[in-house]
Amino acid sequence: MLFNPPHPAETKVLTRRFGLPNSESIDTYLANDGYKAFLKAREMSQEQIIEEVKLSSLRGRGGAGFPTGMKWSFVPRTSPKPKYIVVNADESEPGTCKDRVLMENDPHGLIEGVLIAALSIGAHRGWVYIRGEYRYLIDIMDRAIEEAYKHGYLGKNIRGTGFDFDFSTHTGAGAYECGEESALLESLEGKRGIPRIRPPFPAVSGAFQCPTILNNVETYYAVPPIILNGGKWYADLGVPKAGGTRMLCLSGHVNTPGVYEIPLGFPMMRAINELGGGMLNGNKLKAVVPGGSSCPLLRAEECDINMDYDSLAKVKSMLGSGGMVVLDETTDMVKFALRIMRFYQHESCGWCIPCREGTLWLKKLLTRLDAGVGSSSDISLVGELAKNMFGRTFCPLGDAAAMPTMSIIEKFRDEFEARLAGVTLPPELVSIA
Amino acid sequence: MTFSPQLEARLEKLLRSYPEGRQRAALIPMLMYAQDEAGYISKELAQEVARRCGVTTLQVDEVVGYYTMLRARPMGRTHLQICTNISCLLVGGDKLWEQACHKLGIGHNEVTPDGAISLEEVECIGACSWAPALQTNFDFHHKVTPEKLDQLIDALRKVN
Amino acid sequence: MSDLVKFTLDGRELQAAPGTLVIDAAKKAGIEIPAFCYYEGLSLQAACRMCLVEVKGAPKLLAACTLPVAENMVIETESPTVVDARKFTLEFLLTNHPLDCPVCDKGGECELQDMVFRYGAGESRFTEIKHHVDEKQWSPVVFFDAPRCILCYRCVRICDEGMGVKALGVTNRGAYSEITPNMGSHLECDECGACIDICPVGALTSGIYRYQTRPWEMDHVGTICTHCGDGCKTTLGVRNNEIIRGNNRDRSGINGEFLCIKGRYAFDFINHPDRLQSPLMRVNGKLEEVSWSKALVAVAQKFSEIKAASGKIGIIGSNRTSNEENFYLRKFAQAIGTPHLDHRRTGDIATLLDALSGRADALATAEDLYTAQSVLVVGADLAQQHPFLAFQMRANWRHHQSRTFVVTQGPVREDAFATRNLRAEPGQEIDAVTTLADDLKSSGDLIVVFGDSIRGDSLRKLVSFIASLGVPAKYICLLDYSNSRGAFDMGLIPGDGGMSAPEMLAASDLDALWVVGANPLADAALASQNAFVVVQDLFLTETAQRADIVLPAASAYEKTGTVTNTCGQVQRLSKALNVMGAKPDLDIFHLIARGMRLDLGPAQPDKIFSEIRATVKGYDIPLPVIATGGAALTNPVNGNVPHAAASAALVRGSRDTLFTSGTLGRYSPILSKVMEAPGGLYRK
């Protein structure tokens, strides 16, 4: 089982069952408040459920941070079409590994969150779209789903409540783009993971063109505690406008990387020093990727900050998906920028011109700069190309590629200049540099 | 073409898990699970899956070309996937990649001549907090060191 | 209308219906918002990002192709930010686009060139290595050069949505995404070439046209395709008296940009080495080349002798010659006093017009097929036999959710979107149709399209059944060749006591048989052993081989005049070129008449057309429509149709597929070269 020993700085809500013997089994789950929230929600009206989620100020944990209750309220509940629940478990934002931990340790928590979402809109079918690389998690979820069916928590007339719900796993096959909700739906329907034109949004026309609630794994996990303890209780765990706790995936140059559950608004330096056990080898902090590779980087001096949506927006970055990557003074920022661009180039679906061509050009350009070949104007060109991509692509992937790149060029330009200065060009390359 | 009874059972269940008339939805999972058994998506397999999901083989080709885990050609019996994305890069993932290439004498998406091991430099596999990480087929290996990688490759050579 | 949305576009206050896309609203106001992927009539993509516009209050630029106008929206389509965005999107696009414009077929008419000319950066900042993939040949017709492709997906959509074929897709991902054909390495499709014409750049090129010319070296001649009866306009690119290509990119004509393989490529029979370029005369039992004057004198002399002796002359006219020629030929027959005049009937238009007695407005046009609420197809493989009519129906279903009903002997492409489809053997279709009564009653106005098996009594039964439904209904009687309808309308039918074509062939006492642009002996024998046979044709057909004199005729692309399509729409032919040695049939008629000292009136097409307008029922159509390249619907006064009673038995469709076209098809290298040829009807 993949989890960190509990840390005193954590607030354990979603991870409260981690470490219990057989935590993945329905028996353990039922012995520890399992499916109580569902039974409680069954007694509530659809409006009450959505109201409670709104009250919790829970925001989507996939990265975009859209208020969950509001998203659910957009579903036209009176539509004659069937309604569906889809779980986005296509966790693939570099730096992010939290959904995996939740599902591995507590698969029934997801099923219960999904059931409550289903109640809120009258859905009777759902899928969890799990990235292909997480095959072992598909096996874990399949077993949990089977258990839930056996114990009457899925299927027809769930626990005698008269509510029906079918749920199954659906594997991805290797595509970051399918983490984007509309691309995920295309993929779910057996197509290439190309995002859809929006509007309409999934709430109105989602899976199989029917009204759909689509949230990240972690978002669903927050729902049963919200129903059990009340939205206000959950909201009070975080900061205004962003309630509750969230999973922090700490990686990079810290002594104790891991996945920790912290309240919204937790100070970033405490995350590094307390949860992360301080910087690796006692080195100095250089930068932090606050929430997955698409977020603009923060310089060390910008890291004295609380981790919530508004505070990060103030420093022109984002809370993102919870993937916090810590970079120490030894980090080669040119290489780092290149690696990020290689990723986005590899994952660009190719649908729109700026992202398809922009990421490839930037990858080639950064590869050349990394080799020390180029001129100062090439460094500026990296920033300009990223800017020309930003805000003009069909889906957010172009922005995701542009934002870290623009921030690295802005904040660490000297390292690029130094790289070029350190290389003496062979005469035949002088002309292109 | 014929599949094992276990796979047949899985595919049958799969087809039942989507709304009526939406069997195309089973396409990608079906390709993934069938690939486990067949090794790769041969033309024959593509046609079979197309038939079962009610799509054209062109629609299968479109999907196979898009998703990196679907392969139109055979890979090694063990597919070694080394992550070099940012979290792994910071703690030596790139070095592990070079080490594996050197030791196996193959590069990205290549297979050893005996067909035992293939190598792929992969994007983030969601093991960032236990970096550097790699996968052998679907199994994760966390906090990999150069020594561990060496032993792993030696072991793989033996079993394959 | 009060429910229009008010908005401001480039400082102008405009109004449009709710839901109108900004790009369409702008176009209406005369403002062109550039786009590659947006294409009228096809599904939306929002992929090329060229149509990004600035909307006041929006945090970023928005795609005009997917943005509906909203009340008080303020839009800028050429602001500095917008122009900048276009410039840089083009810069991105050019990074992997080979700048091989000097040798690219599309050079000079390339949308990417035009766009870069308008917005693009004059300077290239891309100094990396371009991604290259080798060119591929997908079929004799279609070549694909992936590096030139800008991935606008127009080809994928026209093939899927427009043609209903789905032969193109996209494989790989990101910058390596590539358009791919359905068979992996090659295409199996209609070979219509729509994907090539719709390609904004030179990624898809035509096996016929590639590397032949620069576009500005050609003259463009808009004329009517000479193959099937649908009457598509094809614009022939002509250079040095040679047709280099056919397309309809200007979307003129009833067919817009639609063309099938025949309209786009099968003009190549013109240059077939077997094309007759000199008259032939039988000398000592063998056909030998002779001069035009010798051949014409011989024909005139022989016809005069037979006429003087009150002998029997049979005349079989053509389904492909112009109305003027057909009209003149009928006058010729009258002048020499022969009632034995006919043409091959490919559909029972005679019975239809007779059965519609008293009803005006009962014939549908191809345009109606796009707007009718429901369409019933009986006894035809429309996508194969009448590809343009099929295209219209498909577009109607896609754009207006029209209801389609199909009654055919086997599977047809229309099954894919038909509300109901029934199988019935030829002759038994009407029983099947009657089971659709309830569906048809509730589907709004109806167009009935029927093939050659619906004739005589069964056609009358069909018409009375449809009349009993109480819904407005119109008809299209499918006729197979480019002027089958005109041949009937101009009266190429037996006069009083005259023999039909099969009767002429079977008669043992025929003194002469004159066959114009037809090949009746392909599958029948001529009983009159001693008949003097004159044939006018492009090729030495089975009939021509039996002739005593063969006169080389010009094709429709080598003459002017008018033709009438299967819906009864009259359109004008324009002459694209001369073929040495061949003469238009009208000239041949006129020369023979002169040799016989017959006065048949003027022999200029325009003058004959005036006569047609004055004397042929339903042809008093407005001249300006025809003169400006439009299609004018004839308005026959129905009922009392001559020869209707006998017509049913004479109907025999051509059974041509997408890849066959009677004699012309046999001599079209491209039609015989595609692997799908000759194809078959009613196949899955």
The predicted-structure confidence for C141-172, as pLDDT tens digits, reads as follows 999 999 999 999 999 999 999 999 999 999 99
Is the residue at A13 inside a domain?
A: no
Smallest Cα distance from A202 to chain C, Å: 17
User: Does an H or E element contain B7, and which?
Assistant: helix B5-16
Mean pLDDT on C589-598 = 97
Residues 6+ apart with CB under 8 A from C681: C381, C384, C385, C410, C655, C657
Cβ-contact C232, C254 below 8 angstroms: yes
Task: Mark whether A316 and A175 lie in a shared domain.
Answer: no
- Tens of pLDDT, residue by residue over A8-48, are 999 999 999 999 999 999 999 999 999 999 999 999 999 99
Given the cut 0.95, state whether the ipTM is greater than it.
yes
Over range B12-16, report the average pLDDT: 96
Q: By the CB < 8 Å criterion, does C102 face chain B?
A: no
A268 in a structural domain: yes
Choose among C132, C62, C40: nearest CA to C95. Answer: C132
Check whether residue A202 and residue A117 sit in a common domain: yes
The values of phi and psi at residue A267, to 5°, are -70, 135
Do residue B56 and residue C182 have CB atoms under 8 angstroms apart? yes
- Residue-by-residue DSSP string for B44-80: HHHHHHHHHHT--HHHHHHHHHH-TTS-SS---SEEE
Interval C552-572: pLDDT, tens? 999 999 999 999 999 999 999
Q: Are A349 and B66 an interchain contact pair (Cβ–Cβ within 8 Å)?
A: yes
Residue C660's closest CA among C381, C284, C347? Answer: C381
Average pLDDT score over residue span C182-190: 96
Would you tell me which residues 203-242 of chain A have a C-beta closer than 8 angstroms to some C-beta of chain C? none
C187 touches chain B (CB under 8 A): no
Closest chain C residue to the Cα of B59, Cα to Cα: C169
The answer to whether B85 contacts A189, with C-beta atoms less than 8 Å apart, is: no
In the predicted model, is pLDDT for residue C638 greater than 70?
no
Instruction: Confirm if C385 and C450 have CB atoms less than 8 A apart.
Output: no
Pick the CATH number of C5-92 from 3.10.20.740, 3.20.20.370, 1.20.120.530, 3.30.1240.10: 3.10.20.740
Asked if B62 lies within 8 A of C171 by C-beta distance, the reply is yes
CA atoms of C204 and C138, how far apart (whole Å)? 10
> Nearest CA to C226 among C541, C662, C653?
C662
What's the CATH number where A258 sits?
A: 3.10.20.600
Q: Domain count for chain A, please give it.
A: 3
Residue C159 is classified by DSSP as I
Same domain, A222 and A350: no
Contact (CB, 8 A) for A226 and A59: no
Quick check: A293 and B129 CB within 8 A? no
Reported as a single tens digit per residue, the pLDDT across C398-452 is: 999 999 999 999 999 999 999 999 999 999 999 999 999 999 999 999 999 999 9
Residue A433, pLDDT above cutoff 50: no
pLDDT at C11 over 60: yes
Residue A428: pLDDT band (50, 70, 90) is low
| Cβ within 8 Å, pair B64-C167 | no
Mapped onto helix, strand or coil, the DSSP state of residue C350 is: helix
A138 in contact with chain B, both atoms CB, cutoff 8 A: no
CATH code at position A84: 3.40.50.11540
Stretch 85-104 of chain A: residues touching chain B, C-beta under 8 Å:
91-97, 99-100
Residue A6: inside a domain: no
The answer, yes or no, to whether the previous bond of C472 is cis (omega within 30 of 0) is no
| Domains detected in chain B | 5-66 (1.10.10), 78-159 (3.40.30.10)
CA B127 – CA B131 distance, rounded (Å): 6
CB proximity under 8 Å: C 23-62 to A: 44-50, 52, 59-61
What is the domain partition of chain C in residue ranges? 5-92, 119-271, 280-346+484-656, 349-477
Q: Which of A328, A357, A392 is the last residue of a domain?
A: A328
Residues with Cβ within 8 Å of C507's Cβ and at least 6 positions away in sequence, in order, are: C312, C314, C499, C527, C528
Taking alpha carbons only, the member of C425, C24, C47 closest to residue A348 is C47
Q: Which of A139, A141, A171 best probes binding to B when mutated, by most B CB atoms within 10 angstroms?
A: A171
CB contact under 8 A, B66 and C166: no
Give the pLDDT of residue B106.
98
Nearest-angstrom CA–CA distance, C349 and C362? 12
**Residues A86 and A212: beta-carbon distance below 8 Å:** yes
- In tens, the pLDDT along A367-393 reads 999 999 999 999 999 999 999 999 999
Q: Which CATH superfamily is domain C349-477 in?
A: Dimethylsulfoxide Reductase, domain 2 (3.40.228.10)
Among residues A63, A57, A126, the alpha carbon closest in space to that of A96 is found at: A63
Residue A8 domain flag: no
pLDDT exceeds 60 at position A425:
no
Q: What is the CATH number of domain C119-271?
A: 3.30.70.20
Q: How high is the pLDDT of residue A429?
A: 53
- pLDDT, tens digit, 9 for 90 and up, residues C39-75: 999 999 999 999 999 999 999 999 999 999 999 999 9
What domain range is A343 assigned to?
Answer: 333-430
Quick one: which of C609, A252, A84 has its CA closest to B25?
A84
Tell me what the mean pLDDT of segment A404-420 comes to: 97
Q: Which subunits count as partners of chain B given 3+ CB pairs below 8 Å?
A: A, C
Look-up of token digits 């038995």: C649
Eight-class DSSP state of C675: T
Cβ A353–C89 below 8 Å, yes or no? Answer: yes
**Is C184 touching B (CB cutoff 8 A)?**
yes
- pLDDT (tens digit, 9 = 90+) per residue, A253-283? 999 999 999 999 999 999 999 999 999 999 9
Confidence of residue A424 (pLDDT cuts 50, 70, 90): low
One domain, residues A321 and A339: no
A146 and A193 housed in the same domain: yes
Identify any residues that bridge with C41 across adjacent strands, giving them in sequence order: none
Residue C313 three-state SS:
strand
> Of the candidates A94, A174, A187, which has its C-beta nearest B69's C-beta?
A174
Answer for the pair C562, C570: CB distance below 8 angstroms, yes or no.
yes
Q: What is the dihedral of CA B21, B22, B28, B32, to 10 degrees?
A: -50
Tell me whether B62 touches chain A (CB under 8 Å).
yes
| pLDDT at residue A423, as a whole number | 66
Nearest CB to C173 within list B43, B59, B65: B65
- On whether residue A355 sits in a domain, the answer given is yes
Topology (CATH level 3) of domain C280-346+484-656? Rossmann fold (3.40.50)
Scored b (16 or more CB within 10 A) or e, C341-354 reads bbbbbbbbbbbbbb
A109 and A183 in a single domain? The answer is yes
Residue A391 and residue A318 share a domain: no
Residue contact B58–C166, C-beta within 8 A = yes
Of C469, C450, C197, give the one whose Cα is nearest residue C347.
Answer: C450
| Both tokens assigned to C126 | 């891309």
d(CA C383, CA C389): 8
The predicted model gives C222-250 an average pLDDT of 96
Domain's final residue, options A295, A328, A361: A328
